[in-house]
């Protein structure tokens, strides 16, 4: 057995993972990052739009401050977030953007003087102050009071990922690609690393560590229609959940992005609407301004996706061979803007649609995009249930997003949370010693070896992994998409339980040798179906509508009963998740109230409950 | 009914004892808007689950799926079958080590490149979290980003005549990386320091000028201009050095 040792093992080398790694490496700890792809191919690099930080440098961001950013984030979350965490995030974000500038990110900067921008298809004028020339500028995103999203063209994730990976190279961090963690090493109390499958040779290896951080991104690929890269398949969630000790927070909180292109579900950035693009229906007429007079196309994603779905159900969708869709219109932004600020969008339209967005409309519809759901951690990023295990980024439920995250807040979260949690891991590691139980390492290694042998030999059955996966994906699309209701969710749970049974009887069709993809898929299918069941059961039991979770049969946001976070555990040999609940936020800076968009009624929380938790601020 | 596509795919799994490199034929009916991402996944899921290839973002953003498509390096995810003849021949990228079938090891190659080029901003300044960010002209930021757009797919290297002859040649991706830091005012390296890295046959003077790198770059990076820019700069640096002695 090939065995590696490090002080900190980071599973996943996207933005969150590498940012977590940097702090420990700077302090002289030995750090290893594992990634299933070369780090720069991580899905962080696909994020186009930008990162929210209340720098307030641009004219339309004037007067911005972390308090306003905090408020937008809490409203965006539909009061589902942990307000302590949202506060930590909003305060640290501007500093982190400056740190990234210092490390090398080519942020777009303030250009002084007169310029034009579009909103709702109309042209407006703005003046950038000469004294702010050259500071980091920002663009508009949905659900925000100010222009706050820092960006590098529409390749922000890519640009920041390059810089972060450069920083890791500079610090000599071992970033190993083509390594997939398939099980955590733990004794029921403490995590001591992971068993890893090498995606060069197919061999198993043991990575032993004092501290382990899971930073593997979201799990959108368990849906059929998703903007996510094929690597966003829940691998990190599964190894945590498989311990039986670690809960998935708010599994029912899944975001659907308004502008996935049809048919490939590739994302075109929210920046299109932020920069003034509009949504049109079959008659090429705007509709968001009717549903949301105030925010229009720039309401939060859950709200826009909901109205788009509603509008298509009213018969206003465009019919196509790939089902109904609506149009995104950025024609009026003009050639220069599209060629410089929306380049990726331009390329995607060209390569995947054969459309020129300067003269033609872009076919779009809501598509799975983001998992607010994730491995539940405390505000230090320490995972519930296992000592020495941390988590950051989309994979985690830290939880600043609650039931809907704002555009530009997730990419910012990767580096801001990465920085905060990275520092907490340093505190944890300083002076910390542990005993590595080699019997546990050997047992787990053998167990995983056996699992692989069983899949190859077909000992458990001959189900085709791709068929099983497809049935899981279809079930989620049917029951757990933008709108949900009791009877459909009950059916989905039943369907998924049958799929789970089949997932236990997979047998490979191929030989499973080397970097075999069928084996990789088979190793995680059971865990994926369990995640799917957590979504469905969590959604079934949550009898209210909050953020992205819309129950047609329970349209009110019910703060009296559901101002809570779901904690979903999977106990060994169970056929359904065990759902527990905790308060959504230990404290309130902003008491539960109206978002100002999205409509709907609220069943208020108990006044005394809210009062007891209000933070008293010194004025 | 769509066309019947005939795929000729390079097969070799180094982890399988006794396996021999060979070409294998697969047939698939073409569907509307089919890309190689769709086609290859269908072949793997419906015909041969042992087939090895890489995809990640499937949106032309990450660079994972570069391969040789009918003789030309390109990204498989953004290659539409309708733009290809009905016979599609697929090979793994040359120069890089083979993982299996169509997958190659770009990860190690590029990490070595970061080391060689010291691919990070060299600055004597330390970060002060209480201070406003250092200012930058927006045009400069855009110029840096233009060169930062490289997705490390490896197409330029595998299409490079010099790189295929000489293992130690740094390739267009590395020279472009240097150019990215040359235009960045935050990097304090001098021309002389850059000369130490690329002012030789492995670097900017090794290029034979065939310039296939720019022809095949899926991001349309100005690799030819960067090469000219660096050659001139390094040439001048060399001459200055001669006169100083």
Residue-wise pLDDT tens digits, A549-597: 999 999 999 999 999 999 999 999 999 999 999 999 999 999 999 999 9
Percent of chain A at pLDDT above 70? 100
**B49/A516 CB distance under 8 A:** yes
Is residue A32 classed as helix, strand or coil in its secondary structure?
strand
A273 catalytically annotated: yes
Q: Whose structure tokens read 């250009």?
A: A111
A interface mutation test: which of B49, B150, B177, B187 has the most A CBs within 10 A?
B49
Which of A257, A369, A484, A565 does the annotation list as catalytic? Answer: A257
**B57/A170 CB distance under 8 A:** no
Question: CB contact, 8 Å: A99 with chain B?
Answer: yes
B105, B106, B135 ranked by CB distance to A133: nearest: B135
Question: The tokens of A471 are what?
Answer: 């049935």
Q: What is the pLDDT of residues A482-523, one digit of tens each?
A: 999 999 999 999 999 999 999 999 999 999 999 999 999 999
Distance from CA of B181 to the nearest CA of A (A): 9
Residues pairing with A249 in the sheet? A374, A567
Rounded to whole angstroms, how far apart are CA atoms A405 and A332?
28
Band (A121; pLDDT cuts 50, 70, 90): confident
Residues of chain B with pLDDT under 70: 1, 245
Q: What's the pTM?
A: 0.97
Between residues 191 and 210 of chain B, which touch chain A (CB distance below 8 Å)?
none
pLDDT of B245 reads 67
Is A619 a residue whose pLDDT tops 60? no
Question: CB contact, 8 Å: A152 with chain B?
Answer: yes
Is the Cβ–Cβ distance between A331 and A275 less than 8 Å?
Answer: no
Is A277 a residue whose pLDDT tops 80? yes
pLDDT of A414 reads 98
Is the Cβ–Cβ distance between A128 and A112 less than 8 Å?
Answer: yes
Complex ipTM > 0.90: yes
User: Which residue does chain B place closest to A155, by CA atoms?
Assistant: B149
User: On the CB side of B48, how many CA atoms lie within 13 Å of its CA?
Assistant: 15
Per-residue burial over B106-134, b if 16 or more Cβ lie within 10 Å, else e, is: bbebbbebbebbbbbbebeeeeeeeeebe
Rounded to whole angstroms, how far apart are CA atoms A564 and A310?
27
Q: What is the pLDDT of residues B65-107, one digit of tens each?
A: 999 999 999 999 999 999 999 999 999 999 999 999 999 999 9
**A109/B138 CB distance under 8 A:** yes
Question: CB contact, 8 Å: A442 with chain B?
Answer: no
Q: What is the pLDDT of residues A129-185, one digit of tens each?
A: 999 999 999 999 988 999 999 999 989 999 999 999 999 999 999 999 999 999 999
**B52/A514 CB distance under 8 A:** yes
B interface mutation test: which of A23, A33, A41 has the most B CBs within 10 A?
A41
**B110/A104 CB distance under 8 A:** no
Nearest to B127 by CA among A96, A423, A17, A157: A96
| Domain B106-244 annotated CATH 1.10.1060.10 | yes
Name every residue whose Cβ is closer than 8 Å to that of residue A194 and which is 6 or more positions away in sequence: A9, A11, A34, A181, A182, A183, A184, A185, A206, A207, A212, A239
Between residues 450 and 479 of chain A, which touch chain B (CB distance below 8 Å)?
466
Question: The tokens of A411 are what?
Answer: 């990419």
Rounded to whole angstroms, how far apart are CA atoms A415 and B170?
31
Section A376-401 average pLDDT: 98
Is residue A491 classed as helix, strand or coil in its secondary structure?
helix
pLDDT of B46 reads 96
| Domain covering B4-104, topology | Ubiquitin-like (UB roll) (3.10.20)
Rounded to whole angstroms, how far apart are CA atoms A407 and A555?
24
Question: CB contact, 8 Å: B153 with chain A?
Answer: no
A interface mutation test: which of B59, B138, B183, B217 has the most A CBs within 10 A?
B59
Rounded to whole angstroms, how far apart are CA atoms B205 and B195?
11
pLDDT of B179 reads 96
Section A420-429 average pLDDT: 98
Band (A340; pLDDT cuts 50, 70, 90): confident
- Helix (H) or strand (E) holding B140, with range, is helix B138-148
A257 catalytically annotated: yes
**A136/B133 CB distance under 8 A:** yes
What residue spans define the domains of chain B? Answer: 4-104, 106-244
Mean pLDDT of chain A: 96
Percent of chain A at pLDDT above 90? 94
User: On the CB side of A231, how many CA atoms lie within 13 Å of its CA?
Assistant: 34
Band (A48; pLDDT cuts 50, 70, 90): confident
Band (A469; pLDDT cuts 50, 70, 90): very high
A46, A162, A201 ranked by CB distance to B148: nearest: A162
pLDDT of A505 reads 98
Question: CB contact, 8 Å: B22 with chain A?
Answer: no
């Amino acid at each position: 057995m090939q065995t590696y040792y490090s002080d900190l093992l980071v599973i996943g080398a996207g933005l969150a993972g590498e940012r977590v790694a940097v702090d420990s490496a700077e302090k002289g700890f030995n750090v290893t990052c594992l990634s299933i792809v070369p780090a720069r191919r991580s899905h962080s690099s696909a994020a186009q739009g930008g990162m929210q930080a209340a720098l307030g440098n641009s004219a339309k961001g004037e007067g911005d401050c972390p308090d306003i950013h905090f408020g937008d984030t809490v409203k965006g979350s539909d009061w589902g977030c942990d307000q302590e965490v949202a506060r930590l995030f909003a305060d640290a974000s501007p500093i982190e953007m400056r740190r990234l500038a210092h490390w090398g990110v080519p942020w777009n900067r303030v250009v002084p003087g007169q310029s034009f921008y579009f909103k709702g298809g109309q042209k407006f004028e703005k003046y950038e102050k000469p004294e702010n020339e050259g500071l980091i500028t920002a663009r508009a995103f949905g659900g925000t009071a100010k222009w706050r999203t820092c960006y590098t063209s529409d390749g922000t994730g890519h640009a920041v990922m390059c810089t972060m990976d450069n920083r890791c190279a500079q610090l000599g961090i071992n970033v190993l690609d083509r390594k997939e963690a398939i099980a955590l090493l733990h004794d029921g109390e403490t995590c001591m690393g992971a068993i890893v499958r090498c995606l060069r040779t197919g061999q198993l290896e043991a990575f032993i560590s004092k501290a382990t951080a899971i930073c593997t991104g979201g799990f959108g690929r368990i849906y059929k229609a998703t903007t996510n890269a094929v690597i966003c398949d829940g691998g990190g969630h599964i190894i945590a959940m498989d311990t039986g000790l670690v809960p998935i927070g708010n599994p029912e909180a899944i975001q659907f992005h308004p502008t996935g292109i049809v048919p490939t579900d590739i994302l075109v950035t929210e920046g299109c609407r932020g920069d003034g693009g509009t949504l049109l229906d079959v008659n090429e007429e705007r509709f968001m301004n009717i549903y949301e007079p105030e925010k229009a196309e720039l309401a939060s994603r859950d709200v826009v996706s909901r109205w788009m779905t509603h509008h298509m159900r009213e018969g206003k969708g465009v019919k196509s061979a790939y089902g109904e869709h609506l149009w995104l219109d950025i024609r009026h932004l003009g050639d220069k803007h599209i060629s410089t600020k929306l380049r990726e969008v331009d390329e995607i339209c060209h390569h995947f649609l054969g459309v020129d967005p300067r003269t033609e409309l872009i076919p779009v519809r809501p598509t799975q995009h983001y998992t607010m759901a994730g491995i539940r951690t405390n505000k230090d990023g320490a995972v519930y249930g296992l000592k020495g295990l941390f988590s950051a980024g989309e994979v985690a439920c830290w939880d600043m997003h609650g039931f809907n995250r704002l555009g530009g807040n997730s990419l910012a979260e990767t580096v801001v949370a990465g920085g905060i949690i990275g520092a907490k891991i340093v505190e944890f590691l300083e002076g910390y010693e542990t005993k590595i139980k080699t019997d546990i390492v050997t047992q787990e290694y053998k167990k995983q070896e056996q699992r692989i042998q069983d899949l190859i030999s077909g000992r458990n059955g001959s189900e085709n992994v791709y068929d099983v996966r497809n049935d899981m994906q279809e079930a989620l699309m049917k029951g757990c998409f933008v709108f949900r209701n009791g009877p459909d969710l009950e059916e989905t749970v039943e369907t998924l339980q049958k799929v789970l049974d089949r997932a236990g009887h997979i047998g490979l069709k191929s030989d499973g040798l080397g970097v075999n993809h069928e084996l990789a898929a088979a190793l995680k299918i059971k865990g994926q179906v369990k995640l799917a069941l957590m979504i469905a059961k969590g959604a079934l039991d949550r009898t209210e509508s909050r953020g992205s979770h819309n129950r047609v049969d329970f349209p009110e946001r019910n703060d009296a009963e559901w101002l809570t976070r779901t904690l979903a555990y999977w106990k060994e040999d169970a056929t359904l998740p065990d759902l527990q609940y905790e308060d959504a936020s230990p404290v309130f800076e902003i008491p539960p109230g109206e978002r100002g968009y999205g409509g709907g009624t609220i069943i208020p929380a108990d006044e005394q409950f809210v009062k007891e938790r209000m933070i008293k601020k010194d004025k | 009914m769509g066309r019947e596509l005939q795929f000729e795919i390079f097969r070799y799994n180094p982890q399988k004892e006794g396996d021999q490199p060979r070409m294998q034929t697969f047939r698939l009916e073409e569907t509307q808007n089919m890309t190689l991402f769709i086609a290859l996944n269908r072949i793997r899921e419906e015909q041969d689950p042992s087939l090895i290839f890489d995809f990640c973002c499937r949106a032309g953003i990450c660079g994972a799926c570069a391969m040789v498509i009918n003789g030309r390096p390109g990204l498989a995810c953004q290659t539409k079958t309708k733009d290809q003849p009905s016979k599609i021949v697929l090979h793994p990228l040359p120069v890089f080590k083979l993982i299996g079938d169509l997958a190659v090891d770009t990860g190690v190659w590029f990490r070595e490149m970061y080391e060689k080029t010291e691919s990070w901003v060299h600055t004597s300044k330390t970060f002060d979290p209480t201070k406003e960010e250092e200012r930058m002209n927006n045009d400069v930021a855009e110029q840096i980003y233009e060169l930062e757009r490289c997705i490390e797919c490896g197409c330029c290297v595998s299409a490079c005549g010099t790189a295929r002859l000489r293992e130690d040649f740094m390739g267009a991706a590395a020279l472009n990386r240097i150019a990215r830091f040359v235009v960045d005012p935050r990097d304090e390296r001098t021309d002389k320091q850059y000369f130490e890295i690329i002012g030789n046959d492995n670097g900017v003077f090794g290029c034979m000028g065939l310039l296939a790198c720019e022809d095949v770059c899926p991001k349309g990076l100005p690799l030819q201009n960067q090469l000219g820019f660096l050659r001139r700069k390094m040439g001048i640096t060399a001459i200055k050095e001669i006169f100083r002695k």
